Each structure stands twice: as structure tokens, then as C-alpha cells.
């Protein structure tokens, strides 16, 4: 059955403009859709192919491209196959449609993405803050938010230097890199401008 | 942190009174009701410490459910900013003498979450901590060892850092306001309590408590109305 | 009996009750520990707890009734202790009797209700309403049992009750003469002590220890004292009604500890019922047994 | 304790009142809150309030090396940490095309199942404690400790093992380890009848939990319920069998199901699962001596390891349900994006809110514990 799964999906999506379907593994299919046709794709997958279970919605911040990528992971209990539907929406204003009416679990994930990335989902039942109720800063998961810089500017550190450590340090040992110098983030990540 | 050193148990001249003090400190050490606030992962090592294998009750330590009944506040792990607010409220509701134990490295200095935007780093800034139990996470034996250390301190009359919260309230409030904003207030009137119980110190009031008095709304009792018609008629 | 003698007894009886009650609290925790395969607390643990609770530096009081409620609850038990006869000491038991005692047994719950009511904590209020419901449930079999015992021995005077039962050895004990009533009484005891499966009003996971939610320091200490009195009273009352009271202190202590140990051991094996299940159960089986026992007693 | 509403609020006149469950409450698993509106004893509405355990894991992982994150992932679900390590490692292996040696796969399965047994023992005690019976939790936690001892022998850590790394496991098992695990399994199996007598045949417990917090299969599918909670509604779906990973397709085990979908059914499913896990462990112990070879595929210098460009959505079955990691690499030395889909993200928020509504105050805690919701998975 495994090898056959990809074909019905591609046949299913033949009518939808701009949706590409690609088999990635034994039980994995990747669909590249556009923001306009994604609701239709999901509707087809749920209605015709039995993809009932929305496993997760992932958001990725492509800051350099000025886009957010949204990935809808759907699982079919009948086909035993997982479909990941990818779309890209512009980073500004960062608004997209909710799929809550199709998949109820979407409510949680959309609220989560709204908190962490600031993407607003029109029609989602609850976009109030859930996790970050005490947070007034920018959406923290965006790549342009420097968490470590914020931490260094906000918090003080416990100064623990007992005698035994001082003795070691006098001999030239101890903590080689001081905490304020050890910024793990100083090394650049590809695709991320600071 | 030791701007105002606290006195060790004041020795009273009356020998009977001294025996009485020692008896009370002994009982305090041998009967510790703890409120374990599961702020983080360390909470998973408390059930083993409490249950059949390590059995804390041998030492007279037993879990309690509400802050009013508890003597020890166990902060088990990293404290996120959202939790820290609740931790402070919980701490202020406890009756003195009260002790705070910070379990896990995260309570000392942020631990492995030192880069995280969501966790508070130095618990000692916000509450007077008596004992830290470092480790990620400390084993049940380590937890019990930490509690035994606190026991020894109480027995010797040295575990007085809860007084610090009353005597140096301004400093703790400063750290809290730094994190929660200048409008932060708690329902407990710490300054009033400090005056009432002769715990008023040079650091109780200061720049930050003045800020508190500017915006503090007096607490009103909760109204419990059960019938809608009562409301209409009044 | 001289007045001095009486005064000494009136002081001594609650004191003995307190000490024995603390031992029963220890027994409760030790039984639990053994069933849960662990060591349990040291011998003087309940005493340490009470002293520590009373030595708290700051106390959170919610008002006059909050404090008065605890005093009423503990005071009522002190009064009760002077009304139940123990070996060698009768106190004012001859003046009291079963009827007065069964009234007085309700006062601590009402005192607690007063105190908790002022805390204005919803958890406390829910716990209180559950405690009152529980009282309503166990009072019916309890009153039937009291009535049955009074009829069986043709007296409500506790001193006479003990004397009648001790007259013929074990053969004249209440539990032999009327076992149905004794079983119903044991049921009622479980509910009266508020132990599982009838532990509906403490319920930490549901209402975070119900009435005790706002009690700390001396208030909780008062509740500890009250609980130790409660264990003692329940044990002594059952012993007096069914086990022939105390011939001497040795047998008396054995009897009351055994009586209290039964509900405490059962408690660690069961979860709690829902409120309505508890009321249904307590109004059904103990009441039927007690009514049958009453019929036996009347004939 | 009412931390939220300490500012006096004027309530609208009604018969309804609010009660806060949590964040520090014995009826709440971990650090989590549930605001419940009640009418008498009946729950009118419920609102979950999370974020108390939020550490910003996904942000932290973007700032650390691939190999550093191995130490971070088990902290996402504390009672059942092994699936987290395995799932993250599987995702990296999927992206980089690392071939895991056969022996490592079997060792991973052994850990996964031991961790599942430990989590279920913890669960029984927790569920019983919400109904007022504390002895099972004393027993369960003490028995779980014996499993932690074996983990300690294996990896040096009681709770966080960090034993699985991309490419295999850190080292081979010590001498005589399988014999000791086998003895442990014998002991646990001998203890099961005692648990049956105390808990599963306890009529008061059955009365408390049967028919409480019912979800039918349709609702469960619509709400995204997975794992044992889904199997308690009669659908025998298990990632181990239906989306197999490691060597689960070579093993012989059953997927226990129940039909009624109530708290009692959920407990029973877990009890049967415990037996199946013991069965799987036995198979692994029997097969392991014959499987030789290394336990770790060679990986590049972990401190300068650039995982090739790629993405992977990997799922494993944790003791709570379907656990998934989405990992995206842009070829750098740190992940570009890691998304954790914990099973409790569904169970503890939307499903709990819906199941509690219309129920009784007595059952709120029981429903939460019977779903085996794990708040750190929600907050991350």
C-alpha cells in the first residue's frame, strides 16, 4: 500500500492550481501550496482522502525573505500516511485564515503561533494570550528578537566565587570564559542576519 | 546580600525562657510542613523523596496543600516569570517563621535556561532563600540532605532569613518591580505586618515602597452573592 | 465526692484525652506508613507538630468568628471529655448521659462552620457544606444506635451503662447482646471520623483540603488538638456503648485503640465516595442494620 | 488560594462562582491552572491557563549546537523523557541520512519501553490520589524508582538520561545489565496482582471513575486526541505499529483498547499497556545478546557539526500519545527551527476544557489526571 499513497493525493490535487505534491519517504508526502488554495487543499484532504488528524501547525520565520512559512501536518488513519502542506505568507502584515472550522486542534496551534510569531489568524476562536500573559515584548520566536541580549540587559547573575575556586583561579585554572563573555549567539547562523 | 546581618536567636537572660526557646526551635526543626510548588522539573524527584523508598516523614517532614499551613516553600526548579508572581504571593501568605529552599541549579543562576527570556534567574533577589540544593536535578538523597541542613540551622536558631523579607522589604520589592513593572503589588501588607510583629527594620521602607503606596488599591472583601434578586433590591 | 476531687478529675480527663488522642494521631500515621511500605514518623511527631503550630510568629486571622469558631470546636470537645466515664474517673458523666452527649458531638462541627465561614474562601465553603452533609448522613444511624443502646440496657446514663455491661463479663457486652447495632455503630464511626471512603470534606485534590484551607499556625494547631480529641471520643464512646467500658486502664486503652484502628486501617485502602454516594450508602445499610438492632433491643 | 483574583472583583449577580484549580494545587498535574465556573457542583465552563512552565525551548534550541540540544530535549516532558531524546535523534538521523546500528535500535526500544512502564506506574498513583486513595501512589512511585535505578546504571542519570544521541546510543550496556532488567520485570509482574487488588478491583474506585469524563470516538478524532486516551475510545491506533520507527515492526505486541472512553477505561488501557511493554522488554532482552556490532554510528565532530539541509517530521509514541518533532536544518551548526508537538498540547488544553465542562467539581482533577496531561509539553 505504501508506494500507492502518493498517487491518489496527486490525482486529488490535480484540480487545484499551484499545488505541487512530492513523496518524501515511506509515509511522508510534501505538498507545496499557495495561501489562496491551502483551504481547498485541506478540505480535499479531509473530505476525500480521510486526513482527519491535524498533527501540528508549524511556523517558520524566514526573516531574510520577509516571509513566514506555515506547515500543516495531517495524518490519515486509513492510509497511514502523513502529509505536510507548506505555504508561505508575507511577514508583514502576517495575517492568514484560520482552519479551525476544518480541524479543531488548529485552535491551539494558531493561538500558539500568534503568541510566538505574531501571525494573526482570521476566524480563530481565541487569539488571546495563553502562555505569554506576563510578556510585553515582541513575539519572542521571531528571528529578530535577541533573547540573550534581552536576558543580559534584564537579569543579574549570582556571584558565586568561594575560596576554593579563587585558589584555583590564582593558579590559572577555573572557569576559562567568564559568563559575560560567553555569548553562544555570537557565532552566526546561516540565513540569519543579526 | 548581607547589608543588614541578622541576629542569631537572641539569648534571653531567664534560663527557663532560654529552655523554652530551645524547645520551640527543636520542635520547629522536627516538624516541617512543606509546600512544594512544582515550578519546574525538580518536582519529579519529590515524590520519590516523599514516598516509600526515601520516606521524608521519618524526619517529620510532610507535604501540605495550602500556603497557610506550610513552613517551607520548596521551589523545585526554574521559575518562569509567570510562576514567580504566584510564588511571591504564595510566600507572603505563609505564616512566619517560613523558609525557602531552592532546588535545582536553575534557581541559583538560571541553570541551563540562562539564555531564556521566560525564566527568572536569581531566586535570592526576589525571596530570601535559606538553602540551595544544586544539581540538575538533585537526587532525593540530596533533597533530604538539604532539608536536614535546614533542620540543623533551625535547631541552632540561625535560620532567620525570613526576617530579611520584612526588614529589607524595599530591596526585594525593587527586584520584583524591576521584573513586573512599577505597578506590581501584592495583597499582603508586608509593612503593616512588619510593624505589628516588631520586624520593622531600616530597609523595610524606601524608594520602592513609596511607589507602592502611590497606586495601591485597598483590598475589598470578595462579595459572594448567590441570588440575583438580592442584587436588584439593594 | 469532694469538690477538690471533682475539680482534679475535670482537669485530668481532658488532659488524658489529649495525650491518648495524640497517640491515636500517631497510630493513624503509623498504620498508613506500614500499609504504604515505609517507616513513618517518629514517636513524638504529633506533639512536635502541635507545639510548632502554636509557636508560629505571625498568624493570619480572618476575624473574630474565625478565632471563636476554633475555640468553640475545641471547647466542646473538652466538655465532652468530662462527660464520658473512664476507669477510675467519672467526672460529671452521671449528670450527662447519651442524649446530651449526642447533642454535644454536633457542636464542634458547628463551631468549625462558624470559623470557616468567615474565611470567605470558596474552597472552605464547599468543604463546609460537604462536612454538614456528611454530618446529616451519619447522624441518622448514629442516633438510631444511641437509641437502640439506651433501649437495650434501659438507661441513658453512661456510668450505669458501663456497670450493666461489666456485670456479666463479655456475655453482657453490647457487642454480644446486640451485634447488629454494633456493626451499624462501626459504620457510623467511619463516617464520623471522616475517613475514606467517607472522606468527602477534606479532599485535597478536589477542594484543596476544604475547611482547613485558610487555617494556619494556631488555627491549624487547634484543629490538630480537635482531631486528637475526636479520635479519643469516638473510641471511648464506642467502647462504652458496646465493649463494656473500661475495667482498668490497661484493657480500656487496648479497647479504644483497637476500635479506632479499624476505621483508620480501612481508610488507606479506599478512595472517597462522591457526596451523594456517601449519603446514599450511609442512609441505607447502617440505618437498616440499626433498625433491625432496635427491633431486637425492643423485644 | 486565589492568586489571580486577589484584586477584588465585582461579580455579576448569578448563582455561579469561580474556583481556581492551580497553579499550585494537588488536583493539577504539575504547574498549570484551570479556572472553573461552577453552578452548585456542576461545571459550567472551564478555562485552561498555561505558560507557568514556559522556558522558550524552541528559541533556546535555535541558539545552541545540534549536540547541545540533546541535553535540552528530555526536559520537555519530565515523567517520560526518553521518547523526547529518541524522537529528536531520529529526526536528525532522517535529515542527515545517518544509519543507526541494529544494536542501538534495540537498546533504544528497551529504554523507550522501560520509560513507558515508569510513566504508567506514576500515572496509576496520580489517578488514584485524585480520588483520595494515596497508597497506590506510594507503591507506584517506589516501584518506579527501581526502574530509575536501572536507568542510572545505564546512563548515570536517574531522570534525565541523555543516553540517545544522533547515530545511536552513547555506550553499550554494562555487564549483567539484561539480567537485572529481567529480574526487575519479574518483580513488576509479580506486583501487578497486588495493584489489581488495591486499585483495579477496588469497587469504590470503579464507582468513582466509571462513566466519568466520557469521550466517544468521533469527538476524540475531532479534538485530536491521541495515544492511550484515543485507544480508550476503541480506536487501536498506535504510532509504534502504524507509523513504525526503530524495530517496532519486528516485535510482537498487542495494542490494547477499551470501548467506553471514560476515566476507568483510560486507566485500564494503561494497565494493559504496562503488560505489553513488559512483553516487549522481554523480547528485546532475549534478542539483544545475538545482535552484535557497534552501538553508535560515527558522527562528525559534534562541536562543528553542520547537519545537511533538510527537514523532518518525526513521530514516536510516548506514554501520553503522539509525540512529534519538526526539525529544519539550513545546513548550519544550529537548527534553524525545531517544533515540538507534545501530545498533552491537545489533551491539557482544548480536550480538558471540553471534557470538564458539564461534569462535576469532584471529577475535575480526576479527568485531568486520567488524561495523563503533562503541562511542560504544553508550555515548552
Q: How far is CA A62 from the centre of its chain?
A: 11
pLDDT > 50? residue C119: yes
Q: How far is CA B50 from the centre of its chain?
A: 20
D208 contacts C269? CB cut-off 8 A: no
C59 contacts B68? CB cut-off 8 A: no
B52 contacts D55? CB cut-off 8 A: no
DSSP β-ladder status, B32-37 and B61-63: parallel
Query: Is there a domain that residue B190 lies in?
Result: yes
- What is the length of chain A? 194
User: Where exactly are the structural domains of chain C?
Assistant: 3-43+58-298
Q: Is B192 on the interface with D (CB under 8 A)?
A: no
Burial of D378 per CB tally in 10 Å (0-12, 13-18, 19+): buried
Interface of C with D (CB under 8 A): 32, 35-38, 121-123, 126, 196-197, 199, 203-208, 213, 268-275, 277
Query: Is there a domain that residue B229 lies in?
Result: no
Query: Is there a domain that residue B227 lies in?
Result: no
D72 contacts B228? CB cut-off 8 A: no
pLDDT band at residue A176 under the 50/70/90 scheme: low
At residue A177, the pLDDT reads: 58
CA–CA dist C240, C147 (Å, integer): 14
Q: What is the dihedral of CA D34, D37, D38, D44, to 10 degrees?
A: -100
Residue C71: Cβ within 10 Å count:
13
At residue D25, the pLDDT reads: 84
D26 contacts C204? CB cut-off 8 A: yes
Locate the chain C residue with the closest alpha carbon to B20: C55
From the list B28, B53, B65, the residue facing C52 with the nearest CB is: B28
Verify that B84 and B24 share a domain, yes or no: yes
C-alpha cell at D303: 562541536
What's the Cα-to-Cα distance from D225 to each of A160, B104, D86, rounded to whole Å?
A: 47, 33, 22
Verify that B121 and B183 share a domain, yes or no: no
CA–CA dist C93, C111 (Å, integer): 23
Query: Is there a domain that residue B129 lies in?
Result: yes
The total number of structural domains that make up chain B? 2
Verify that B83 and B144 share a domain, yes or no: yes
* Smallest Cα distance from D291 to chain A, Å: 26
pLDDT band at residue A71 under the 50/70/90 scheme: very high
Q: Which chains sit next to B, with 3 or more Cβ pairs under 8 A?
A: A, C, D
DSSP structure string for D258-271: -SS-SHHHHHHHHH
Q: What percent of chain B has pLDDT over 70?
A: 87
At residue B4, the pLDDT reads: 55
Task: Look at residues B188, B127, B135 and name the one whose alpha carbon lies nearest to residue B163.
Answer: B127
Q: Is A191 on the interface with D (CB under 8 A)?
A: yes
At residue C193, the pLDDT reads: 86
D31 contacts B83? CB cut-off 8 A: yes
Contacts of C196 in chain D (CB under 8 A): 132-133
B119 contacts D15? CB cut-off 8 A: no
Verify that B104 and B190 share a domain, yes or no: no
D235 contacts A56? CB cut-off 8 A: no
Verify that B64 and B122 share a domain, yes or no: yes
Chains C and A contact (Cβ–Cβ under 8 Å for 3 or more pairs): no
C208 contacts D364? CB cut-off 8 A: no
Locate the chain A residue with the closest alpha carbon to D218: A52
At residue D16, the pLDDT reads: 77
From the list D17, D56, D159, the residue facing B45 with the nearest CB is: D159
A140 contacts B114? CB cut-off 8 A: no
Within 8 A by CB and 6+ apart from D28, the residues are D21, D22, D34, D365, D368
Verify that B148 and B199 share a domain, yes or no: no
Contacts of B57 in chain C (CB under 8 A): 29, 33, 38-41
Q: Is B58 on the interface with D (CB under 8 A)?
A: no
* Smallest Cα distance from B25 to chain D, Å: 28
* Smallest Cα distance from C36 to chain D, Å: 5
D25 contacts C208? CB cut-off 8 A: yes
pLDDT band at residue A194 under the 50/70/90 scheme: very low
Q: Is C34 on the interface with B (CB under 8 A)?
A: no
At residue C210, the pLDDT reads: 79
Interface of D with C (CB under 8 A): 1-2, 17-19, 25-27, 41, 128-135, 138-139, 142, 198, 202, 204-205, 207-208, 360-362, 364-366
Query: Is there a domain that residue B233 lies in?
Result: no
From the list B27, B95, B221, the residue facing C60 with the nearest CB is: B95
Q: How far is CA D59 from the centre of its chain?
A: 22
Q: Which chains sit next to C, with 3 or more Cβ pairs under 8 A?
A: B, D
Query: Is there a domain that residue B183 lies in?
Result: yes
C41 contacts B60? CB cut-off 8 A: yes
Domains of chain A plus CATH, in order, are: 2-145 (3.30.460.80), 155-190 (no CATH)
Kindly give the confidence (pLDDT) of every residue in chain D, 380 residues in length, as a single tens digit, with 9 standing for 90 and above. 333 344 444 555 567 778 888 788 887 877 888 888 888 788 888 888 888 888 888 888 888 888 888 888 888 888 888 999 999 999 999 898 888 898 899 999 999 999 999 999 988 888 888 888 888 888 889 899 999 999 998 888 888 888 888 888 888 888 888 999 999 999 999 999 988 888 888 888 898 888 888 888 888 888 889 889 999 998 888 888 888 888 888 888 888 988 888 889 999 999 999 999 999 999 999 988 888 888 888 888 777 788 888 889 998 998 888 899 999 998 888 889 999 988 888 888 888 888 888 888 888 888 988 888 888 888 88
At residue A174, the pLDDT reads: 67
Q: Which chains sit next to D, with 3 or more Cβ pairs under 8 A?
A: A, B, C
C58 contacts B68? CB cut-off 8 A: no
C-alpha cell at C204: 485535597
If you average pLDDT over residues A55-80, what whole number do you get?
Answer: 88
What's the Cα-to-Cα distance from A103 to each of A45, D226, D229, D317, D344, rounded to whole Å?
A: 12, 14, 19, 22, 17
* Smallest Cα distance from D220 to chain A, Å: 10
- How high is the mean pLDDT of chain C? 86
**Secondary element (H or E) of residue D36:** strand D33-39
From the list B38, B86, B115, the residue facing D30 with the nearest CB is: B38
Within 8 A by CB and 6+ apart from D100, the residues are D93, D167, D168, D297
List pLDDT tens digits, range C84-94.
888 877 777 77
Q: What is the dihedral of CA C224, C227, C233, C239, to 10 degrees?
A: -120
Verify that B201 and B153 share a domain, yes or no: no
Within 8 A by CB and 6+ apart from D179, the residues are none
Percent of chain C that is helix, strand, coil (3-state, to 5):
75, 0, 25
Are the C-beta atoms of D251 and D283 separated by less than 8 Å? yes
D15 contacts B43? CB cut-off 8 A: no
Residues of chain B with pLDDT under 70: 1-11, 215-234
Size of the B and D interface in Cβ pairs below 8 Å = 122
Angle, CA of B98, B121 and B137, to the nearest 5° = 75
If you average pLDDT over residues C240-250, what whole number do you get?
Answer: 83
Q: What is the CATH number of the domain that holds B55?
A: 3.40.50.12280
* Smallest Cα distance from C198 to chain D, Å: 10
Contacts of D242 in chain A (CB under 8 A): 77, 80
Q: Is B17 on the interface with C (CB under 8 A)?
A: no
Size of the B and C interface in Cβ pairs below 8 Å = 97
Contacts of C36 in chain D (CB under 8 A): 134-135, 138-139
From the list B44, B226, B231, the residue facing D78 with the nearest CB is: B44
Verify that B72 and B180 share a domain, yes or no: no
If you average pLDDT over residues C274-282, what whole number do you get?
Answer: 87
CA–CA dist B102, D332 (Å, integer): 37
Locate the chain D residue with the closest alpha carbon to A104: D223
Verify that B59 and B85 share a domain, yes or no: yes
Domains of chain D plus CATH, in order, are: 3-378 (1.10.645.10)
Interface of D with A in 303-322 (CB under 8 A): 313, 315, 322
CA–CA dist D143, D123 (Å, integer): 12
Task: Look at residues B48, B42, B37 and name the one whose alpha carbon lies nearest to residue B83.
Answer: B37
Domain that holds residue B102: 8-159
Locate the chain A residue with the closest alpha carbon to B119: A151
Contacts of D1 in chain C (CB under 8 A): 208, 213
From the list D226, D322, D334, the residue facing A189 with the nearest CB is: D334
B197 contacts C55? CB cut-off 8 A: no
Amino acid at each position: 500500500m505504501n508506494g500507492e499513497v502518493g498517487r491518489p493525493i496527486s490525482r486529488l490535487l490535480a484540480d487545484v492550481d499551484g499545488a505541487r505534491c512530492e513523496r518524501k519517504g515511506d509515509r511522508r508526502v510534501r505538498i507545496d501550496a499557495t495561501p489562496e488554495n491551502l483551504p481547498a487543499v485541506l478540505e480535499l484532504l479531509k473530505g476525500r482522502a480521510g486526513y482527519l488528524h491535524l498533527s501540528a501547525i508549524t511556523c517558520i520565520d524566514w526573516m531574510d525573505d520577509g516571509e513566514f512559512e506555515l506547515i500543516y501536518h495531517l495524518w490519515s488513519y486509513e492510509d497511514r500516511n502523513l502529509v505536510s502542506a507548506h505555504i508561505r505568507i508575507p511577514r508583514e502584515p502576517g495575517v492568514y485564515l484560520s482552519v479551525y472550522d476544518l480541524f479543531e486542534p488548529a485552535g491551539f496551534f494558531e493561538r500558539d503561533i500568534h503568541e510566538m510569531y505574531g501571525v494573526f489568524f482570521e476566524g480563530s476562536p481565541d487569539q488571546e494570550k495563553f502562555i505569554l500573559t506576563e510578556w510585553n515584548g515582541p513575539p519572542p520566536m521571531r528571528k529578530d528578537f535577541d533573547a540573550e541580549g534581552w536576558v543580559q540587559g534584564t537579569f543579574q547573575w549570582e556571584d558565586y566565587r568561594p575560596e576554593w575556586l579563587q585558589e584555583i583561579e590564582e593558579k590559572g585554572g577555573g572557569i576559562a570564559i567568564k559568563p559575560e563573555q560567553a555569548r553562544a549567539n555570537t557565532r552566526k547562523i546561516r540565513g540569519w542576519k543579526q | 546580600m548581607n547589608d543588614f546581618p541578622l541576629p542569631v536567636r537572641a539569648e534571653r537572660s531567664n534560663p527557663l525562657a532560654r529552655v523554652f526557646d530551645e524547645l520551640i526551635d527543636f520542635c520547629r526543626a522536627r516538624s516541617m510542613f512543606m509546600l512544594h510548588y512544582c515550578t519546574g522539573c525538580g518536582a519529579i524527584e519529590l515524590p520519590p523523596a516523599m514516598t516509600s523508598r526515601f520516606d521524608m516523614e521519618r524526619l517529620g517532614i510532610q507535604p501540605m496543600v495550602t500556603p497557610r499551613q506550610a513552613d517551607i516553600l520548596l521551589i523545585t526548579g526554574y521559575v518562569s516569570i509567570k510562576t514567580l508572581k504566584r510564588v511571591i504571593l504564595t510566600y507572603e501568605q505563609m505564616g512566619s517563621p517560613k523558609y525557602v529552599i531552592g532546588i535545582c541549579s536553575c534557581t541559583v543562576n538560571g541553570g541551563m535556561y540562562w539564555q531564556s527570556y521566560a525564566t527568572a534567574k536569581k531566586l535570592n533577589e526576589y525571596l530570601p532563600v535559606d538553602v540551595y540544593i544544586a544539581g540538575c536535578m538533585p537526587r532525593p538523597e540530596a533533597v533530604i540532605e538539604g532539608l536536614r541542613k535546614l533542620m540543623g540551622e533551625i535547631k541552632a536558631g540561625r535560620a532567620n532569613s525570613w526576617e530579611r523579607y520584612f526588614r529589607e522589604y524595599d530591596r526585594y520589592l525593587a527586584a520584583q518591580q524591576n521584573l513586573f513593572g512599577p505597578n506590581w503589588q501584592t495583597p499582603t501588607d508586608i509593612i503593616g505586618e512588619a510593624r505589628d510583629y516588631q520586624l520593622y527594620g531600616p530597609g523595610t521602607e524606601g524608594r520602592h515602597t513609596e511607589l507602592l503606596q502611590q497606586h495601591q488599591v485597598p483590598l475589598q472583601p470578595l462579595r459572594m452573592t448567590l441570588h440575583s434578586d438580592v442584587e436588584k433590591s439593594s | 465526692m469532694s469538690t477538690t476531687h471533682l475539680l482534679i478529675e475535670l482537669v485530668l480527663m481532658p488532659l488524658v484525652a489529649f495525650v491518648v488522642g495524640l497517640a491515636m494521631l500517631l497510630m493513624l500515621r503509623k498504620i498508613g506508613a506500614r500499609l504504604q511500605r515505609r517507616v513513618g514518623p517518629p514517636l513524638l511527631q504529633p506533639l512536635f507538630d502541635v507545639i510548632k503550630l502554636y509557636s508560629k510568629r505571625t498568624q493570619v486571622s480572618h476575624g473574630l468568628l474565625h478565632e471563636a469558631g476554633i475555640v468553640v470546636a475545641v471547647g466542646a470537645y473538652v466538655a465532652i471529655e468530662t462527660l464520658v466515664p473512664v476507669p477510675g474517673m467519672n467526672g460529671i458523666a452521671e449528670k450527662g448521659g447519651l442524649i446530651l452527649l449526642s447533642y454535644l458531638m454536633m457542636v464542634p462541627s458547628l463551631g468549625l462552620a462558624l470559623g470557616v465561614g468567615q474565611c470567605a474562601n470558596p474552597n472552605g465553603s464547599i468543604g463546609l457544606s460537604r462536612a454538614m452533609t456528611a454530618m446529616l448522613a451519619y447522624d441518622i444511624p448514629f442516633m438510631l444506635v444511641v437509641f437502640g443502646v439506651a433501649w437495650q440496657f434501659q438507661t441513658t446514663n453512661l456510668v450505669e451503662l458501663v456497670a450493666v455491661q461489666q456485670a456479666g463479663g463479655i456475655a453482657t457486652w453490647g457487642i454480644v447482646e446486640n451485634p447488629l447495632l454494633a456493626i451499624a455503630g462501626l459504620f457510623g464511626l467511619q463516617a464520623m471520623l471522616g475517613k475514606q471512603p467517607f472522606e468527602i470534606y477534606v479532599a485535597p485534590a478536589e477542594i484543596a483540603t476544604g475547611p482547613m484551607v485558610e487555617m494556619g499556625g494556631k488555627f491549624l494547631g487547634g484543629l490538630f488538638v480537635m482531631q486528637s480529641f475526636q479520635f479519643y471520643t469516638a473510641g471511648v464512646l464506642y467502647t462504652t456503648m458496646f465493649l463494656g467500658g473500661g475495667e482498668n486502664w490497661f484493657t480500656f486503652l487496648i479497647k479504644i485503640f483497637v476500635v479506632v484502628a479499624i476505621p483508620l486501617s480501612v481508610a488507606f485502602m479506599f478512595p472517597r465516595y462522591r457526596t451523594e454516594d456517601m449519603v446514599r450508602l450511609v442512609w441505607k445499610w447502617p440505618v437498616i442494620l440499626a433498625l433491625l438492632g432496635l427491633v431486637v433491643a425492643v423485644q | 488560594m486565589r492568586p489571580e483574583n486577589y484584586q477584588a472583583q465585582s461579580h455579576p449577580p448569578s448563582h455561579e462562582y469561580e474556583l481556581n484549580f492551580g497553579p499550585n494545587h494537588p488536583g493539577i498535574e504539575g504547574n498549570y491552572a484551570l479556572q472553573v465556573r461552577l453552578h452548585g457542583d456542576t461545571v459550567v465552563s472551564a478555562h485552561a491557563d498555561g505558560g507557568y512552565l514556559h522556558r522558550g525551548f524552541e528559541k533556546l534550541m535555535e541558539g545552541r549546537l545540534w549536540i547541545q540540544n540533546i541535553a535540552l530535549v528530555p526536559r520537555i516532558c519530565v515523567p517520560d523523557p526518553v521518547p523526547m531524546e529518541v524522537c529528536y535523534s531520529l529526526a536528525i538521523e532522517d535529515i542527515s541520512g545517518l544509519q543507526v546500528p541494529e544494536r542501538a535500535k534495540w537498546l533504544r526500544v528497551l529504554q523507550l519501553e522501560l520509560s513507558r512502564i515508569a510513566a504508567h506506574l506514576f500515572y496509576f498513583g496520580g489517578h488514584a490520589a485524585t480520588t483520595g486513595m494515596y497508597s497506590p501512589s506510594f507503591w507506584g512511585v517506589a516501584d518506579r524508582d527501581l526502574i530509575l535505578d536501572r536507568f542510572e546504571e545505564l546512563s548515570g542519570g536517574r531522570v534525565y538520561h541523555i543516553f540517545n544521541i544522533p547515530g545511536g546510543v552513547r555506550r553499550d550496556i554494562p555487564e549483567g545489565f539484561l539480567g537485572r532488567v529481567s529480574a526487575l520485570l519479574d518483580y513488576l509482574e509479580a506486583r501487578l496482582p497486588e495493584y489489581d487488588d488495591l486499585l483495579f478491583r477496588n469497587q469504590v474506585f470503579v464507582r468513582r471513575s466509571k462513566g466519568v469524563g466520557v469521550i466517544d470516538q468521533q469527538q476524540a478524532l475531532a479534538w485530536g486526541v491521541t495515544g492511550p486516551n484515543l485507544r480508550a475510545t476503541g480506536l487501536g491506533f498506535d504510532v509504534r505499529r502504524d507509523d513504525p520507527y526503530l524495530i517496532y515492526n519486528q516485535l510482537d505486541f498487542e495494542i490494547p483498547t477499551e470501548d467506553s472512553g471514560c476515566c476507568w477505561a483510560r486507566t485500564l488501557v494503561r494497565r494493559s499497556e504496562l503488560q505489553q511493554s513488559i512483553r516487549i522488554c522481554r523480547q528485546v532482552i532475549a534478542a539483544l545478546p545475538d545482535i552484535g556490532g557497534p552501538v553508535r554510528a560515527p558522527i562528525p565532530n559534534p562541536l562543528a557539526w553542520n547537519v545537511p539541509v533538510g527537514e523532518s517530521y518525526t513521530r514516536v509514541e510516548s506514554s501520553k500519545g503522539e509525540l512529534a518533532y519538526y526539525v529544519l536544518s539550513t545546513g548550519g551548526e544550529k537548527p534553524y527551527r525545531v517544533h515540538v508537538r507534545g501530545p498533552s498540547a491537545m489533551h491539557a488544553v482544548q480536550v480538558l476544557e471540553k471534557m470538564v465542562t458539564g461534569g462535576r467539581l469532584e471529577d475535575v482533577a480526576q479527568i485531568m489526571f486520567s488524561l495523563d496531561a503533562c503541562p511542560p509539553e504544553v508550555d515548552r
